[in-house]
A and B are shown apart, each in its own frame.
Chain A
Amino acid sequence: MSGLAHGFWGLLTRDLRLALRRRADASLAVLFFVLAAALFPFGVGPEPNLLARMAPGVIWVTALLAVLLSLERLFLADYEDGSLELMVLAPQPLEMTVLAKALAHWLTTGLPLIAAAPLLALLYNMDPAGLPMLVVAMALGTPSLSLTGAVGAALTLGARRGGVLIPLLVLPLNIPVLIFGVAALDAALSGFNPLPHIMFLGALFLGSLVLAPLAGAAALRQAME
């Protein structure tokens, strides 16, 4: 295994191991997702058709908020105990470090959200025929959220109350993911072709896969100065 892949793999397995040992922290996002989504019926009333109509939007918006909730810790723990300095000093490119951190974040936050989403959809009386599309759209959309979120988390290091700043920075960037994620699901539910929306989600993912590590690495270097 080359040195590059070795550093990437080492960081990824360490972050996953940390998440596994601190399961309470890691499960916070998915618990928030389920609870927040379960609140809506209390607010708008239990009318089944209305809930089914709302399901795609509610699931996507609460998933977005759940991801935001988990972003602050993405770099902060490593920043506070000095690990981030060493990662900046490690021989592999810092872009790979950002990518490994974002991937670990997606595996520990995005993946549980994808697993919980069909359950919520059923709670909302959504047509089960839309479930595969829900999973596909979330599988393509949530990595973008982790990637852009990593940039926001890196930019706010060293700022007081960075946790409040992150949503302000990241939410506008995530609006396209929300739009096409909901649109793909709506199209599938009403019998239209969801492919164009899915392709947009894929394009957003590929775009952030390239740009987010570059921007995140630049932000981390700035935070070290």
Chain B
Amino acid sequence: MSLFEGRNLICIRGGRHVFAGLGFAVSAGGALVLVGPNGSGKSSLLRLMAGLSRPASGGLSWAGAEIAGDPEAHRARVRYIGHLDCVKAVLSVSENLSFWAGQYGPAGPDEVRRGLEAFALENLAGLPGQVLSAGQRHRLALARLAASPGELWLLDEPTVGLDTAAQEHLTAAIAAHRGAGGRVVAATHTPMDLPGAQTLTLEPFALAARAAEAELDAEPAW
């Protein structure tokens, strides 16, 4: 069973301990939902998983192999949806999407159409990015998932700004992805329809980090 695992992760950002002693495991077809109040480190954990930042201690592995040992293989698997939508105002919807799909390998009109259809953007394909609403921009960001398949989806608040129909598109896309053996890690405040998903509550690990920090401060500085 190949697992995407994290062990004993410690994250320090800007000199502040965000969380400590955190571990997780996601199997093929599995889903992990990160919950916790603002500032408990959901986005930081997703960035660690993506490889955008490195843990202060602990390790991440994919099917037993350390991710730090082969970051390029990991980057080829990861599809990350962050808070920002990466939509260029002067490029059309399909140009935006086809550029991002092309960054992960050769992408033709078929891939772009698949991405547009997955989030009902076909009618907007020719519009420039600057006329899109916030929700439409976010759907365009999510369409990257369907246009360039990758094994591991890392979604940071994927439902923000989505209407009911778009949320259903997202649920369907995630279900199809997991059905094909893909994994999903999502940080969210709104309940998402993910059957069989594990939930990881970040608050205890954030508190552990605070405690470790207080201990460090209490030690005499030589």
- Which residues of A are interface residues toward B (Cβ below 8 A)? 1, 3, 6-7, 10-11, 14, 17-18, 21-22, 80-83, 85-93, 224-225
CA distance A57 to B103 in the complex (A): 42
- Which residues of B are interface residues toward A (Cβ below 8 A)? 50-54, 72, 75-76, 78, 80, 82-88, 90-91, 95, 99-100, 102-106
**What distance in Å separates the Cβ of A2 from its nearest Cβ neighbour in chain B?**
9
Taking CB atoms, residues of chain A closer than 8 Å to B50 are: 89
Is B104 within 8 A of A90, CB to CB? yes
Assuming A17-B95, A82-B83, is B75 touching A90 (CB within 8 A)?
A: yes
Taking CB atoms, residues of chain B closer than 8 Å to A21 are: 90-91
Is B102 within 8 A of A17, CB to CB? no
CA distance A90 to B150 in the complex (A): 11
Assuming A7-B102, A90-B104, is B86 touching A81 (CB within 8 A)?
A: yes
CA distance A89 to B79 in the complex (A): 8
Q: Nearest CB to that of A14 among chain B residues?
A: B99
- What are 11 residue pairs bridging A and B, where the CB atoms are less than 8 Å apart in the complex? A7-B102, A14-B95, A18-B90, A81-B86, A83-B86, A87-B103, A89-B50, A89-B51, A89-B75, A90-B75, A92-B103
**Quick one: which of B91, B100, B102 contacts A18, CB cutoff 8 A?**
B91
CA distance A220 to B171 in the complex (A): 34
Taking CB atoms, residues of chain B closer than 8 Å to A1 are: 106
Taking CB atoms, residues of chain B closer than 8 Å to A86 are: 80, 86, 100, 103
Taking CB atoms, residues of chain A closer than 8 Å to B78 are: 89
Taking CB atoms, residues of chain A closer than 8 Å to B102 are: 6-7, 10
**Quick one: which of A80, A81, A91 contacts B72, CB cutoff 8 A?**
A91
Q: Nearest CB to that of B13 among chain A residues?
A: A225
Assuming A10-B99, A10-B102, A82-B82, is B88 touching A88 (CB within 8 A)?
A: no
Taking CB atoms, residues of chain B closer than 8 Å to A224 are: 52-53
Q: A81-B85, A86-B86, A87-B103 are in contact. List 16 more A-B contacts (CB 8 A).
A: A1-B106, A3-B106, A11-B99, A11-B103, A14-B91, A14-B95, A17-B91, A82-B83, A83-B86, A85-B80, A85-B84, A88-B52, A91-B72, A91-B105, A224-B53, A225-B54
Is B72 within 8 A of A89, CB to CB? no
**What distance in Å separates the Cβ of B74 from its nearest Cβ neighbour in chain A?**
9
Is A91 within 8 A of B76, CB to CB? yes
**What distance in Å separates the Cβ of A75 from its nearest Cβ neighbour in chain B?**
14
Taking CB atoms, residues of chain B closer than 8 Å to A93 are: 72
CA distance A87 to B75 in the complex (A): 10
Q: Nearest CB to that of A92 among chain B residues?
A: B103
